[in-house]
Structure 1
Amino acid sequence: MNKLMTIIAAATSLAVASVALSANANAGEVLDRVLKTKKLTVAVGTDWGKMAFLNAQHQLDGYDIDVVKSISKSLGVEANFVTPSWDVIAAGKWRGRWDMTTWMTPTKARTEKFDFPAVYIKDEVLGAVHKDSKITKLSELEGKVVAVGAGTAAEQYVKHKLAPDWIGAKPIEYQFTPGEVKTYKSSNVAFDDLRLGDGVRLDAVVGDGSLVEDAIKAGYPLKVIGVAFSSPAALAVERGDKEFNDKIAAAIQSMKDDGSLSKLSIKWFGVDHTVE
């Protein structure tokens, strides 16, 4: 009996030690890699409107790109960008392929996978329909075919699963229940389907405001019918490296203090979206 208890105690101790080791496995690992390689690798999109896009020279440009370059400068490293699809980014388990991502809504559910060092911009999620549509407000999307980006807060909203649990969150008012939800890896593809005509493939797209507004400015025959909700957008890193998390937080705080973050918002959006 004593031998059995000894074996159980040893197994329990080993399990506890394994959990502790797993919890601390990433402590300092990401920051060490970034400083050693002199490179901060960040996952962004090529079709995120003025947040991140390919310019005429086929180079990444936009608000997020400028923010990351500033953070990299403060760390004394070079900014490096990769462009996986959003669903891959949001799934977590990056395995060192990149160190950080941008423009993520910091929901409670996501804190199981990610840490959010800093909120760096405020975002609105808008509803848009074809310009020929008779729909004029979100409530009129009841029973309609609505498109969203896969893995986005807009998808959670349309499916009535959004948990508005970020700092300063207000209760979510679901203004409609769609008849069908179509998910797209890229919001631009959803806009392409909507531009074919009212009700041809879609009745509406619900997505980030900057993407909707950019599509309209680019000549897409769309119109905005309302704000679904607004939320903070944060930088996201995988959980477990407090040192790296703190460095990113300090860099953004410095940009807020010296006004450079506000200037970047005004540069790209014409207004300061970094404050309420």
Structure 2
Amino acid sequence: MFKTLMTVGVALALTSGAAMAQTVRIGTEGAYAPYNFINDAGEIDGFEKELGDELCVRAELTCEWVKNDWDSIIPNLVSGNYDAIMAGMSITDERDEVIDFTQNYTPPAASAYAAAAEDADIEGGVIAAQTATIQAAHVAEGGATLLEFATPEETVAAVRNGEADAVFADKDYLVPLVEESGGALVFVGDDVPLGGGIGVGVRESDGELKDKLDAAIGSMKEDGTLNAMIVKWFGDGAAIYE
């Protein structure tokens, strides 16, 4: 009888512990390969999906993924539709005024121009960029005409169909598109370093969640698994942590 009671007690304790496990909903765009995309099975996939799942294991969190359009991804975090953002979002002072960020999980990386011709005018021409990105802000501050689109696919399409002289985006996003274009797209000009790397966005009130994710990111940097994951998804030439 005592053994039975003990067994029941342990089971209840385990059940209670499982019920108390924190569930974290992670919002992502699902349209910015290789950071995040929808695979052939209709599921969220990519570098950030693999990374986020590992962070949740290390932080002892239960993770659920939510697909959300880029232009409303911060407002929907703030309003509580999910608890964190992993969507190729660079850490900037402007965004940090609205939400909080963990330490970065990719080093500051280059942005680049891709065009249909090497002589494309990237200084004074029409440049396509995704709305509400650091690339769009950079173009707006210069002498070129900014043409904004809701999705990254539309920015590249604008170059292909002649609406824009070039697209300005994360180079990691553009590299496979340029390589697979058969010469229809080429890089133009120098790379441009922008932002403070990419981090997990959380509400400013969620300091405990930020700390847990920070610790998990730190542990992956220390044991080398984060660098290995970056190389897996972005190639041997990707920026990694020294």
TM-score normalised according to structure 1 size: 0.73
Partner of 2:43 in structure 1? 59
Residue aligned with 2:92, SS: coil
Of residues 122, 126, 129 in structure 1, which corresponds to 2:112? Answer: 126
Residue aligned with 2:34, SS: coil
Mapped to 2, the partners of 1:259 and 1:187 lie a distance apart of 30
Residue aligned with 1:141, SS: coil
Mapped to 1, the partners of 2:232 and 2:187 lie a distance apart of 23
Of residues 70, 92, 107 in structure 2, which corresponds to 1:86? Answer: 70
On the 8 A contact 1:149/1:185 being kept in 2, the answer is: yes
Mapped to 2, the partners of 1:190 and 1:109 lie a distance apart of 23
Mapped to 2, the partners of 1:241 and 1:149 lie a distance apart of 28
Displacement after TM superposition at 1:65 (Å): 0.7
Mapped to 2, the partners of 1:96 and 1:36 lie a distance apart of 19
Mapped to 1, the partners of 2:164 and 2:223 lie a distance apart of 45
On the 8 A contact 1:43/1:101 being kept in 2, the answer is: yes
Partner of 1:223 in structure 2? 186
TM-score normalised according to structure 2 size: 0.82
Partner of 1:159 in structure 2? 140
Mapped to 1, the partners of 2:46 and 2:82 lie a distance apart of 19
Partner of 2:212 in structure 1? 247
Mapped to 1, the partners of 2:206 and 2:62 lie a distance apart of 20
Calculate the aligned-residue CA RMSD, in Å.
Answer: 2.0
On the 8 A contact 1:72/1:79 being kept in 2, the answer is: yes
Partner of 2:27 in structure 1? 43
Mapped to 1, the partners of 2:218 and 2:73 lie a distance apart of 24
On the 8 A contact 1:42/1:100 being kept in 2, the answer is: yes
Q: Does 1:117 align with 2:110?
A: no
Displacement after TM superposition at 1:142 (Å): 2.6
Displacement after TM superposition at 1:209 (Å): 1.1
Name the CA shift for 1:243/1:157 in 2 (closer, same or farther; >3 Å): same
Mapped to 2, the partners of 1:57 and 1:195 lie a distance apart of 28
On the 8 A contact 1:142/1:177 being kept in 2, the answer is: yes
Q: Does 1:257 align with 2:222?
A: yes
Q: Does 1:192 align with 2:157?
A: yes
On the 8 A contact 1:92/1:113 being kept in 2, the answer is: no
Partner of 2:175 in structure 1? 213
Mapped to 1, the partners of 2:27 and 2:179 lie a distance apart of 26
Q: Percent identity?
A: 22
Partner of 1:170 in structure 2? none
On the 8 A contact 1:92/1:238 being kept in 2, the answer is: no
On the 8 A contact 1:99/1:237 being kept in 2, the answer is: yes
Displacement after TM superposition at 1:87 (Å): 1.4
Name the CA shift for 1:217/1:47 in 2 (closer, same or farther; >3 Å): farther
Partner of 2:90 in structure 1? 105
Residue 235 of structure 1 aligns to which amino acid in structure 2? V
Displacement after TM superposition at 1:37 (Å): 6.4
Mapped to 2, the partners of 1:208 and 1:50 lie a distance apart of 11
Partner of 1:10 in structure 2? none
Displacement after TM superposition at 1:214 (Å): 2.5
Unaligned runs of 5+ in 1: 1-34, 161-175
Name the CA shift for 1:93/1:41 in 2 (closer, same or farther; >3 Å): closer
Q: Does 1:275 align with 2:241?
A: yes
Residue 212 of structure 1 aligns to which amino acid in structure 2? L
Alignment coverage as a number of residue pairs: 218
